[in-house]
Amino acid sequence: MSRKGRMFLTVVVLLGSLLSGLPASPALAAPLSTCEDGPQASGAIYRICMPEPGRWNGDLVVYAHGYVAFNEPVGIPENQLVLPDGTSLPEIINGLGFAFATTSYSTNGLAVREGIEDVRDVVDVFRARYGEPGHVYLGGASEGGLVTALAVERFPAVFDGGLSTCGPVGSFRGQINYWGDLRVVFDVFFPGLIPGNALDIPQEVIDQWDTVYKPAVVAALRANPDAMAQLLRVADVPVERDNPASAEEALLQLLWYNVFGSNDGIAKLGGQPFGNMLRVYHGSENDLALNRQVQRFRADPAALEEIAAHYQTSGQLASPLVTLHTTGDPYVPYWHELYYAGAVQSSGSSPLHTNIPVFRYGHCNFKVSEVLAAFALLVLKVTGQELHGVEQVLPDADSQAEFLRLAREVGALR
């Protein structure tokens, strides 16, 4: 799996699991889409795909993609628009009768602020080219899941509703601390293996991650499984039961986030956001020694202010928001959903929010039927109407039956 692919398993949020590592699903039947790309004022690139003539239902689905490494060229991440069997996400959306639009964002890496502005702008681009849509739905995965939640909270006049999947919607600062804690504890159990520290990533580590440092980490983890097990417990990283390889894969990916995301994130936030001065780590064989050895950092106030102003959800909703999350997500933990549900309740917006937990291991590890059921619930909440056309994108009788069962369970069928 490619580095960019692992970063945030993609599509998924809106209809399937992109790079979740699931077996290829049966081919989905959908009419061909007619797509066009073009520039946005921010420097981002948009893509709009329309159903076959006469099949557009008048509504628009906008997709907010997941994380792309800061050192990749800006462009629409094609691997996040294709399902494991090669089926095009735009064609699935178009097969349901909706127009589809997405954007590259104007930057990679930490792109939440830019992503929000670019998904808003792509709606304006669509209006200018195709007229006013009846309803506008926003969906996104991982980082795009946070873009979705924030945009739906802040711009209900633009987005009639949203489907946020596997995103850090509960506490953005908590997500940063989750990654940072993993790195500082790793450095105690495997000292000197990765140069620099949790907040200072040398360029050589970024440049040689795949060729030098990742292999070194793999060798160290395999040579000291007891230290790896302690690290997982202390950092509270979910692993897949009966699949020992999931532990190594989770640690490698979390370290990848630290290596490729730290410098970029600090620059964009105007300071370093990780703080563990008062954190008490536990779960090792000697917690006293661990807490004495772990490196301590104090978060910069400017970075925390930036997070509070632009990256933290409020839970205040004026449009429906459905969130979908695997309970065993090792990269963006499920506790985000518990925090977000609490914020929604405090704001009095609970009737507009529904979380659908998927009891499975993995990041954005969804079946197409699960995402379609979540989307069907969103459509019902926005329009009062059931989602039509599912049989055209799920031609297999078993998958159709699974969708109907799930849709009934989540209340998407009247």
Q: Are residues 301 and 326 in the same domain?
A: no
d(CA 136, CA 399): 27
d(CA 32, CA 48): 13
Going by the DSSP 8-state scheme, the letter that residue 318 receives in this structure is S
Q: SS3 for 301?
A: helix
Is 41 in contact with 107 (CB distance < 8 Å)?
A: no
DSSP calls for 58-107: S-EEEEE-----TTSPSS--GGGSB-TTS-BHHHHHHHTT-EEEEE--SS
Which one, of 178, 175, 173, 103, lies nearest residue 144 by Cα? 103
d(CA 248, CA 118): 36
Which of 37-46, 151-160, 318-327, 395-404 is predicted least confidently? 395-404
Which of 77-91, 146-160, 353-367, 378-392 is predicted least confidently? 77-91
pLDDT digits (tens, 9 = 90+) for 40-54: 999 999 999 999 999
Place of tokens 């370093």: 272
Count: domains in the chain: 2
In the numeric block, which tokens belong to residue 202? 């040398």
Examine the fold and report which residue of 307, 324, 347 is the final residue of a domain before the chain moves on: 307
In the numeric block, which tokens belong to residue 333? 């933990």
Examine the fold and report which residue of 307, 322, 338 is the final residue of a domain before the chain moves on: 307
Q: Are residues 211 and 297 in the same domain?
A: yes
Q: Are residues 126 and 24 in the same domain?
A: yes
Average pLDDT of the residues in 252-264: 98
Examine the fold and report which residue of 262, 278, 307 is the final residue of a domain before the chain moves on: 307
Q: Are residues 82 and 48 in the same domain?
A: yes
d(CA 68, CA 19): 13
Going by DSSP bridges, is the β-strand pair 161-165/60-64 parallel, antiparallel, or unpaired?
unpaired
Q: SS3 for 264?
A: helix
Q: Are residues 160 and 99 in the same domain?
A: yes
pLDDT value for 32: 59
Is the torsion defined by CA of 101, 173, 311, 265 positive or negative?
Answer: negative
pLDDT value for 139: 97
Average pLDDT of the residues in 96-122: 98
- For residue 291, the enclosing domain spans 173-307
Is 32 in contact with 91 (CB distance < 8 Å)?
A: yes
d(CA 373, CA 369): 6
Q: Are residues 120 and 32 in the same domain?
A: yes
pLDDT digits (tens, 9 = 90+) for 265-302: 999 999 999 999 999 999 999 999 999 999 999 999 99
pLDDT value for 414: 83
Q: Considering all CA atoms of the chain, what is the largest pairwise distance in Å, rounded to the nearest integer?
A: 69
Q: In sequence order, what are the residues at sequence separation of 6 or more whose Cβ sits closer than 8 angstroms to the Cβ of residue 223?
A: none
CATH number at residue 333: 3.40.50.1820
SS (H, E, C) 17-32: CCCCCCCCCCCCCCCC
Q: Are residues 110 and 66 in the same domain?
A: yes
Q: Are residues 41 and 102 in the same domain?
A: yes
In the numeric block, which tokens belong to residue 84? 């494991």
Q: Are residues 95 and 48 in the same domain?
A: yes
In the numeric block, which tokens belong to residue 313? 């959800």
Q: Are residues 327 and 261 in the same domain?
A: no
What distances in angstroms separate CA 406 from CA 29, 47, 96, 103, 256, one per listed residue?
Answer: 20, 31, 18, 30, 35
pLDDT at 30 over 70: no
Confidence of residue 20 (pLDDT cuts 50, 70, 90): very low
pLDDT digits (tens, 9 = 90+) for 301-355: 999 999 999 999 999 999 999 999 999 999 999 999 999 999 999 999 999 999 9
Q: Whats the size of the chain, residue-wise?
A: 414
Is 72 in contact with 102 (CB distance < 8 Å)?
A: no
Is the torsion defined by CA of 203, 209, 211, 212 positive or negative?
Answer: positive
Which one, of 105, 103, 143, lies nearest residue 123 by Cα? 103
* Angle between helices 245-269 and 172-189 in degrees, nearest 10: 120
H or E segment at 398?
Answer: helix 397-410
Q: Are residues 138 and 233 in the same domain?
A: no
Q: Are residues 36 and 130 in the same domain?
A: yes
